[in-house]
Amino acid sequence: MKKFTKLSAVSALSLVIGASAAFAENIKIAFIDPLSGPFASTGTNGLHQFEFAADYMVNQKGGVLGGTNFEIVAFDNKISPKESLIQLQVAIDQGIRYIAQGNSSGVANALTEAIEKHNKRNPDSRVLFLNYAAVDPALTNEKCNFWHFRFDANADIKMDALTDVMAKDESMKKVYIIGQDYSFGKAVAAAAVKNLGEKRPDVEIVGNELHPIGKVKDFTPYSRKIVASGADAIITGNWGADMLGLGKSAIENGFDGPIFTYYAAGSGITAAFGESGKGRIRLISQGGINPIATEEARATYEAFEAKYPEGNIDQSRIFNVIGMLSTAIEAAGTADDVVAVAKQLEGMEYDSQWGGKVFMRPQDHQIIQDMNVGVHTDENIDFDYDNSGFGVYTESTVTMASMDSPTTCDMKRP
Amino acid sequence: MNDELTTDPSKPSQRMRAGSLSLTLTPWIVAAFLLLVLPFVFTNNSAITIMNQMWITVIFALAYNMLLGQGGMLSFGHAVYAGVGGFACMHIMNMSDFFAMFPLPVLPLFGGLFGMGLALIVGSFSTRSAGTVFAMISLGVGELIAACSVIIVAFFGGEEGISGDRTYAMPFFGNEFLQPIDVYYLTSFWVLLSAALMYLWSRTPVGRMANAVRDNPERAQFLGYSSRWVRFYSFVASGFFAGVAGGLFGINYEILTEENLNTASSGVILLVTFLGGVGFFFGPIIGAIVFTLLQTVLSLQTELWAFYVGALFLATVMFFPGGLAGILMMHVPAIKLGKAGGLVRPYIKTLVPALIGILGLAALVEMTFHVRHAATGDNEMTLFWTTFDSHAILPWIIAIGVTVVGLGLARATLPAMKEAWSEANSVGGKL
Amino acid sequence: MSTPALELTGLKKSFGKAEIIRGIDLSIGKAERHAIIGPNGAGKSTLFNLITARFPPTSGTVKLHGEDLAGLQPFQINRRGLSRSFQITNIFPAMTVFENVRCALLWAQGYKYSFWNLVNRSRSLTEGADAILDQINLLARRDLPAGMLSYAEQRALEIGITIAGGADVIMLDEPTAGMSHSETDYITDLILKVTAGKTLIMVEHDMGVVFGLADRISVLVYGEIIATGKPADVRADPKVQEAYLGAALEAEH
Amino acid sequence: MELILVNVIDGLVTGLLLFMLSAGLTLIFSMMGVLNFAHASFYMLGAYFAYQISLALGFWMGLLVAPLIVGVIGAGVERYGLRRVHQYGHVPELIFTFGLALLIEEMVQFVWGKNTMPYSVPEVLNFTAFSIGANSIPAYKIFMIFTSVAIFIGLLFVLNKTRVGMIIQAALSYPRTVEALGHNVPLIFMGVFGVGTALAGVAGVIAGPVLGTFPGMAFVLGSIVFVTIVIGGLGSLWGALVASLMIGWITTFAKSYNVQMSDILNAVGISTPENLGNSVFRDLWTVTSPQIADILPYILMVLILIFRPAGLFGKRES
């Protein structure tokens, strides 16, 4: 038995090592996100979109650098910072130079710091961090670094665009802000207060509070407060089960205004809201799905649906990540020198198939793009989510949102 | 990988006379040697990172077993002591002037002291009784402190946690601990030291009485010992070593988050310790090594890793409540009788087919999962280094065949193995 | 007259409405062997438990060497020189026989809660434990788990643990319960041997043992002592005859 | 004033739901000494089964059938798993249920995937029963209250008026004696485990549509069920009821009102220090009641264990 334990350890560890030898010619992107546990659904959907995008946009078109393919290597971080750092090390050892991650700003924060330290300590095996969904503003402000690129609008930009749309509704007099008790939730609340104060000083913020993240079983008491406050609208940054719980509970318990939010589509949430959320839930996103922005996008979505009938393209920015990365690699003429690739990514302007231009702002590596505010509905929906017949229909667009927003980032380039 | 430590704490080493000292030292020397050479066998950074993680878990699991195995106290919130020790270390790392005054290898000591400090406070009321009351207080306190981690942002840093940079410490003989391998030797030093101290602890009067109180608190009372104080001392010592593990975590990852405190981490360490075996000092060491491998390596291979781990735990608890260490130690009588050799052939005859059968079963599970959840048209799957079409009938027939034949053979040869087992343990056996 | 080793005054104990011990006064001198007998349910074990603070008394006092034990925990009483065995065997079954005895020696040898001494480095612990094992004739079983001993051996071990700490007041609760004749004789001799010079208080059903061992006997019936005295006097007391002894003696034969 | 009344109703719903879980658990815990960590997993199974059945046969068949399936599975787990582990002691039993919880969650994901299921309130009950001020009380909540009260009454009846109930009550207090009297204790254990898990299943069926049916639903519920029965006192059905309602109301009210720690501290005469900005205690001063609402039961439990280890209504300590 003793021997067995040791043998299995040897073989297990050599698996880790051995994997690096195979497929050396592919450009590999490590996808480090939860694939098991409570957040697995979001992670898995993201992985499918990455795999599809790499295959459809790069490999089927002959690859980059004259025939090199993209390969997505999935690592399950179980949404744990510790596991993420272990998997990051494993990925680096496998010779992977591009790390994609999006779920949880906490994990993103751990990764960006670890990557900065790694790149400082190991100039020979530097890696880039492609952040496709972690939206804590700090990542492109005080915590920014040269290796981190954010392809999603940050919480401030999203709120800026959301409040632009909200401000047009003259009948709205009272707003209730509620969010999860962590950095993102706090960032959303702060941005909402600031933006509303600037755009609609007459609007009264009747509530501003945080609830424990992922722990609230029943949102009824919160809904009661919201209803009692006489709010005309709710602003929340909630996601996952917290979004669903809050939204359903508020509607059920007598709240009759709109709910402005960030993440209330796909991953079963659209289906679960169904009829009850129709016309009530308004969310900020980028990329036009309904109506579809371009014919190219329509073809992409149809191909995706053929492959994943139960899947959604709910993070169209993932296609931008792949598109921009392949463009940058082509321009740099190498995939191994990540500094060269990063320099290409900085300041890149890219025409997204999902509509509009996207621009990677060089001073903080924050992407700037058109932001849409859509409504949860079953009317005029070409591409629904969760096969529910419901989807998000774009009502208004803010072009190149927050192009000139300030940043505290002090970018240090190698 | 010091699973060579086969010293059984339930049996006192009565050897006091000179000469036998080398015998008790052997496993430690072997362990130290292994710790030293392992990085030369597994040279890449990820293997070293995984080994670091293993040694940290080893310390934590051994500390946990001071409570569960040796003291009979079931804790549902032990992660908080490791976590608080770790957070304290991160704050020390960020106090640049103070941190620059001493070398990095000393840092875990501070972690230990902070873990111990918290254990002193909590232990003062939680160790009054063992059993359900202790378990539930540990659960309550664990939840409380885990919840505080997002509320008391000044100390715990909210959900982002607290991060720092280990390289700002005073260089230790010129080493700034830039690379995982430097940290590896630091961690190895501490794992050896902590394991040795915890082992020695079990041989001290208060360590022996911890066992006595676990088995029969009332009798211990009538031997002049307060069960409560004996438990309290074990609890505080366990808190110290948990804090050391937390400090090492801080050095390795340079970040601590809510994850280090929450009840899931506390649950994991309970599973790790139990998987290894609570009855033996070296049990948790095996548990920590096996579990870390499962968690980091198996999860790279399959999405369903948690499913297998859950099944493994159920099987262990149902058939081998002594854990992996218990399975190893079951063979000691046969080895002492010189009859262990007779077991090899029956083992091969039963266990190899059983293993193949289980792998076949796993293949079926993976294939079902693939058919159910993979993308439409994506019929190709890779399993055991072979790629095939999961919608074709042949792979299914093969997998079912392998499963049935493997498990069938194992079942057929099981009586022979049982017979060999009783044979190896009978005649001349002590009991 | 010197202070009695153990003195009970007006000791009472009720569980709910049921009064189990109904006022006991008893004084036991130094180096006396005192037996407490009585029919089942008379409250003998309860009395033991009151003395050793397993339960608190409803009223009354217990004095050990003149010191009031009120409010003390069992381990504190033990440290003051009183040690007891249990009616149901109460040892550490998972530990070896040797370790059982060694644990019993730790406090007496002043180790307290020390974590800077190694038990197997202490010559006095090892030799002391071996000496006790020799006394109770279990040296041959030294390294077996205590749970594997025969019943009689476990009872002997329990007595060994009880006397190991060097207490001068020893309380034994039915040391020979459930034993065969030969085993009983063996244990009786053992008790005589190991309690020489000490105060012994025992509860016992076997009249042979009682009359063979005890200097004085108290008869407990329904929570009250109806007679105390030398074995011959007690045997002759008509109240005792009536209440208990007759039946018990008959059963003996 | 209106809000208080609304909160009383909401707290009642939460409390009664919790009670359905804790009632089964307290029976299991006090009879068998098993801390059944998988109890919440059976609750989850109840919701998933009901969802699956409701697709084909409608909500009401789900309500009827799903708890039965869960109960049978629970009895099977006891018969073929727990009973085997029972001989090794309580810790292995606990680990067993721990592993079982892990495995059930994985199996649910295996079968139903990782997304939230669109399991929703039946059309018949999908209306507002009445409104208090602007707050509407959904009919489904009234239905939940009636269902749980009916179950509680049924349980009381079985326990107090039937022979089986008498044996169970006796076994709660004196498990060994009951065995000595010749009752088939293993069968009673299996039955109690089955009924206990079926009750959890009922809770899952009726909670699934409002609280969401997703793989993490058992984890979110977490250990609060243990807290309930410890506060109430092990083995006490009334204790479980009182503790459940207490927790329901405490958490509901704590979430509904924003009370800040500084308010409380100021009220008892401690004034807020000047420079809170950098103080370590800054966060303590600004803690609000909704932030800590969900940990209040844990604080309560620790206090109760320190000062009254038997719980509010309990007779034994462990």
Q: For domain C6-252, which architecture applies?
A: 3-Layer(aba) Sandwich (3.40)
Backbone angles phi, psi at C93, to 5 degrees: -65, -30
Query: What are the boundaries of each domain within chain A?
Result: 2-153+303-369, 156-285+370-398
CA-CA-CA-CA dihedral for C51, C55, C61, C64, to nearest 10: 30
Chains that touch A (3 or more CB pairs under 8 A): B, D
pLDDT of residue B86: 95
pLDDT in tens, D166-185: 887 777 667 667 776 767 77
Which residues in chain D (163-222) have CB-CB distances under 8 A to chain B?
Answer: 222
Q: Which residues pair with A178 in a beta bridge?
A: A209, A236
pLDDT higher than threshold 50 for residue A275? yes
Find chain B residues with C-beta within 8 A of D294's C-beta.
147
Interchain contact C81–B (C-beta under 8 A): no
List the single best residue of A90, A93, A118 to mutate versus B (max B Cβ within 10 A): A90
The answer to whether the CB of D169 falls within 8 A of the CB of D159 is yes
> By CA distance, what is A207's nearest residue in D?
D258
pLDDT of residue B243: 96
pLDDT higher than threshold 60 for residue A168? yes
Question: Cα A388 vs. chain centroid, distance in angstroms?
Answer: 22
Interchain contact B380–A (C-beta under 8 A): no
pLDDT higher than threshold 80 for residue A147? yes
pLDDT higher than threshold 50 for residue D318? no
pLDDT of residue C201: 92
Chain A, chain D: beta-carbon pairs less than 8 Å apart = 119
- The distance of B242 to chain D (nearest Cα, Å) reads 21
Question: A227-231, B255-259, D163-167: which range is least confident on average?
Answer: D163-167
Q: In what order do the strands lie in the sheet with C82-84?
A: C82-84, C169-173, C199-203, C33-37, C216-221, C224-229
Interchain contact B364–D (C-beta under 8 A): no
Which helix H or strand E contains B53, and what residues bound it? Answer: helix B45-71
Encoded tokens for A313: 């393209």
C and B touch with 3+ CB pairs <8 Å, answer: yes
pLDDT of residue D43: 94
D and C touch with 3+ CB pairs <8 Å, answer: no
- What would the mean pLDDT of A189-197 be, rounded to a whole number? 91
Instruction: Tell me how far apart the alpha carbons of residues A126 and A92 are, in angstroms, rounded to a whole number.
Output: 8
Interchain contact A22–B (C-beta under 8 A): no
pLDDT of residue D23: 87
pLDDT of residue D133: 75
Q: Which residues pair with A98 in a beta bridge?
A: A29, A128
pLDDT in tens, D81-103: 888 888 887 778 888 888 898 88
The answer to whether the CB of A44 falls within 8 A of the CB of D114 is yes
The angle that helices C123-135 and C151-164 make with each other, rounded to 10 degrees, is: 130
Subunit contact D110:B263, Cβ cutoff 8 A? no
CATH code that applies to domain A156-285+370-398: 3.40.50.2300
From B205, B212, B229, residue closest to C92, measured CB to CB: B212
pLDDT higher than threshold 90 for residue A128? yes
The answer to whether the CB of C43 falls within 8 A of the CB of C223 is yes
Q: In angstroms, what CA-CA distances link C11 with B222, C26, C84?
A: 21, 9, 19
Which residues in chain B (289-318) have CB-CB distances under 8 A to chain A?
Answer: 289-290, 293, 295-301, 303, 305-306
D181-192 burial: b if 16+ Cβ within 10 Å, else e: eebebeebbbbb
pLDDT of residue A7: 43
Query: What are the boundaries of each domain within chain C?
Result: 6-252
- The distance of B300 to chain A (nearest Cα, Å) reads 6
pLDDT in tens, A79-125: 888 889 888 988 998 889 999 998 888 889 889 999 999 999 888 88
pLDDT of residue B21: 47
By the 10 Å C-beta count (0-12 exposed, 13-18 middle, 19+ buried), A412 is classed as exposed
Chain A, chain B: beta-carbon pairs less than 8 Å apart = 148
Residue A200: closest CA among A238, A237, A247, A167: A167
- What would the mean pLDDT of A174-191 be, rounded to a whole number? 88
CATH code that applies to domain A2-153+303-369: 3.40.50.2300
Question: At which residue do the structure tokens 């049990």 appear?
Answer: B283
Interchain contact B216–C (C-beta under 8 A): yes
**Between these two residues, C117 and A73, which has the higher pLDDT value?**
A73
- What would the mean pLDDT of A329-338 be, rounded to a whole number? 91
Find chain D residues with C-beta within 8 A of B309's C-beta.
102
- The distance of B88 to chain D (nearest Cα, Å) reads 13
Residue D223: closest CA among D66, D94, D106, D137: D94
pLDDT of residue B23: 56
pLDDT of residue A10: 47
Find chain B residues with C-beta within 8 A of A109's C-beta.
160-161, 163
Find chain D residues with C-beta within 8 A of A230's C-beta.
134
Q: Which residue ranges in chain C fall short of pLDDT 50?
A: 253
The answer to whether the CB of D252 falls within 8 A of the CB of D11 is yes
pLDDT higher than threshold 50 for residue D229? yes
List the single best residue of C99, C115, C149 to mutate versus B (max B Cβ within 10 A): C115
Which residues in chain A (168-187) have CB-CB distances under 8 A to chain B?
Answer: 181-183
Q: Which domains does chain D have, with CATH numbers?
A: 2-221+234-256 (1.10.3470)
Subunit contact D100:B314, Cβ cutoff 8 A? yes
- What would the mean pLDDT of D243-263 be, rounded to a whole number? 87
pLDDT tens across the length of chain B (431 residues)? 333 333 333 333 333 333 344 557 888 899 999 998 998 888 888 889 889 999 999 999 999 999 998 988 989 999 999 999 999 999 999 988 888 888 899 999 999 999 999 999 999 999 988 888 888 889 899 988 988 887 888 888 877 788 888 888 888 888 888 888 899 999 999 999 999 999 999 989 999 999 999 888 888 888 889 999 999 999 999 999 999 999 999 999 888 988 889 888 898 999 899 999 988 899 999 999 999 988 878 877 777 888 888 888 888 888 888 889 988 888 887 887 777 777 888 888 888 888 888 888 888 888 888 877 766 666 677 777 777 777 778 888 888 888 888 888 888 888 888 888 887 777 544 44
User: pTM (2 decimals)?
Assistant: 0.86
pLDDT of residue B339: 77
Interchain contact D288–A (C-beta under 8 A): yes
Subunit contact B377:A306, Cβ cutoff 8 A? yes
